[in-house]
Amino acid sequence: MNSNANHEFNNKDGNKKMMDKVMIFQAIKESFLKLDPRTMVKNPIMFVVEIGFFITLILSFAPQAFGNSGVEPWFNITVTLILLFTVLFANFAEALAEGRGKAQASSLKQSKKEIMANVVRPNGKIEKLPSAHLRKGDIVIVSQGEMIPGDGEVIEGLASVDESAITGESAPVVKETGGDFNSVTGGTRVVSDEIKVRMTSNPGESFLDRMISLVEGAERQKTPNEIALNTVLTSLTLIFMIVVVTLPFFTKYLGFQLEIPVLIALLVCLIPTTIGGLLSAIGIAGMDRVTQFNVIAMSGKAVEAAGDINTIILDKTGTITFGNRMASDFIPVGDVKNEELSYWTVLSSLKDETPEGRSVIELLKQRGAKIDKKLAESGAFIEFKAETRMSGMDLADGRQVRKGAVEAIKSWVKSQGGQIPVDLDEETNAISKEGGTPLAVAVDNQICGLIYLKDTVKPGMKERFEQLRKMGIKTVMCTGDNPLTAATIAKEAGVDEFIAECKPEDKIDVIKYEQKQGKLVAMTGDGTNDAPALAQADVGLAMNSGTTAAKEAANMVDLDSDPTKIIEVVSIGKQLLMTRGALTTFSIANDIAKYFAIIPAMFMLAIPQMDVLNIMRLDSPLSAILSALIFNAVIIPLLIPLAMKGVTYKPMSSNALLRRNLTIFGLGGVLVPFIGIKMIDILVALFV
């Protein structure tokens, strides 16, 4: 199953889960448990409604509890029941959103089993231990058919690993030592070969453990936008409470009295109960939608930030291109012969465990070159570093062999007092113009030739970047390649800007530069050298196949290891913000209709002229109050599917989005309650 198909499956599965009977019954149970005032006080708006419920409940059985009451007992009981259902519906929305996360956590827990691990002791002996006894730094051997006992990094060997328990993807992935694809996750299974793994986490601290706690999500932290909106809604509630509390003094002056149940009904209709009841569910559902795309968000703040992203920084290798840069040709320069270039290329690559290094050896074998591993045994291998941008071998006889970026090798040769071959730049440019990556090979002060590494742009990238452009998001490609190669790939992929010969610190610099312009920046990465930039970015998306350092630095992890998924993450972030904004607009707009229903009803008997405001021509003051209250309660469960699924997002400008939402949810929020309250009033009038 491919990644897109998998996402489609997950989304359908997620929607199906929302309607699962067991989950609905559990949410109903949670709705009653959440009536605990200690829980309700976290949602000030619904807490006010609950207090109103308790007051009307007392009045239902003791009408004189708060002084003389001229209201019929049946009215108190009816208001009490409506307020109870208003709170229960709000609790149900939150419980249903939480239930979806808990259901996913349960399926993850099933993959978390006690595994016996083959631990390599310092003396070389193998000891079998339960995975719960493993500690960070322990080395284990995992063979075909065995489960990987915990999170770790492959330090020896190569194997295919089935990660379907974590990612849902049926196709196994290759894990190997070296490079950025050496990270393995506990609970996955080795399906071929054997690997040696160094543990990178203690029991209870694994990636799977963190995933379970994150998707359960009941104790999630509120996001800054959510807190800000909550503050506004709470302030409105306090203002309306002051209005309602002082209202009896004015009505007493006018010569009539408003009963306590009527005042409570007025308060509940005035305050923004609709968005107050759905706000928490919207946030939880937003996190859940990200999870359905096999992305684990470390916080709701990251999902929200994704919705406001202005710039995306992307690595070229493995993100825009397939990343499997393999040797395809060897090009000698100067007076060097093919045989001589092959000899030094072998020496530079024999101990190079990176995929590129192994591809060099494989290509030489295919071409019939003799590979004598003894050549490198007496030498000291120089590992590749991002700062030097080259690797190689210091031989026992004092000679030094280096392989790396052309400019880095040129600088190194010049420092040795050597000359640059006249045809080097010409051959380098020829490779770069074809979109390839040239690596230079040198021994001491002489450049022998070039290794031609090929990489290809992933299909559909240009269309995806065009989609981001429509969202108003700038794309910047970072690559260690020379400017010509970078320009060729950038043009083919359709990115807005690129940075060639990019070092880890350059990525941080460009992120900081964009942030100083007041922009929010997202970045994808999978390597240890990406970790600082992932931490600096407002949204850092790390690949699950990447290194532990990258995953720990990021605030999102993509289980499918598809760097282009940042586009879906951005869309979900925008959808979350739009959903919250749309339902807030709808909630405030539908209050207008409630005002026209309940305010004239309260004053009509004492002030007959108020009847002019009864534009809906509601049957009686009591039916008007009850109709407004019933609509106020019923609209919450009716909006739950929209809160859970989210408002449909289409790439368009901010102004176009604003016009669209004001038309649909602003105008709709005014019209729907007028129709709904009138229909309810017709039914209520039959019984009142």
594 is in an annotated binding site: no
* DSSP codes joined into one string, 291-348: HHTTEEES-HHHHHHHHT--EEEEEIIIIIB----EEEEEEE-TT--HHHHHHHHHHH
Q: Which amino acid is at 86?
A: T
Determine the Cα–Cα distance for residues 95 and 93; give it in Å rounded to an integer: 6
403 is in an annotated binding site: yes
DSSP 3-state of 382: strand
568 is in an annotated binding site: no
170 is in an annotated binding site: no
Known catalytic membership, residue 425: no
Determine the Cα–Cα distance for residues 539 and 566; give it in Å rounded to an integer: 9
558 is in an annotated binding site: no
Active-site choice (180, 315, 455, 591): 315
389 neighbors 408 (Cβ within 8 angstroms): yes
385 is in an annotated binding site: yes
384 is in an annotated binding site: yes
391 is in an annotated binding site: yes
Residue 172 is classified by DSSP as -
Determine the Cα–Cα distance for residues 292 and 18; give it in Å rounded to an integer: 12
483 neighbors 501 (Cβ within 8 angstroms): yes
Determine the Cα–Cα distance for residues 202 and 204; give it in Å rounded to an integer: 6
Closest-CA residue to 392 (of 451, 360, 332, 344)? 344
Q: Residue 498: beta bridge partners?
A: 477
604 is in an annotated binding site: no
Query: What are the start-end ranges of the E strands in 388-445?
Result: 390-394, 400-405, 437-443
388 is in an annotated binding site: yes
Q: Based on the number of CB atoms within 10 Å of its own CB, is 388 exposed (0-12), middle (13-18) or buried (19 or more)? A: middle
Q: How many residues does the chain have?
A: 688
352 is in an annotated binding site: yes
Q: Six-digit token pair at 304? A: 């929200």
Specify binding-site residues for ATP: 352, 356, 384-391, 403
Residue ranges for the binding site?
352, 356, 384-391, 403, 526, 530
Please report, in range form, the residues annotated as the binding site for Mg(2+).
526, 530
> Known catalytic residues?
315
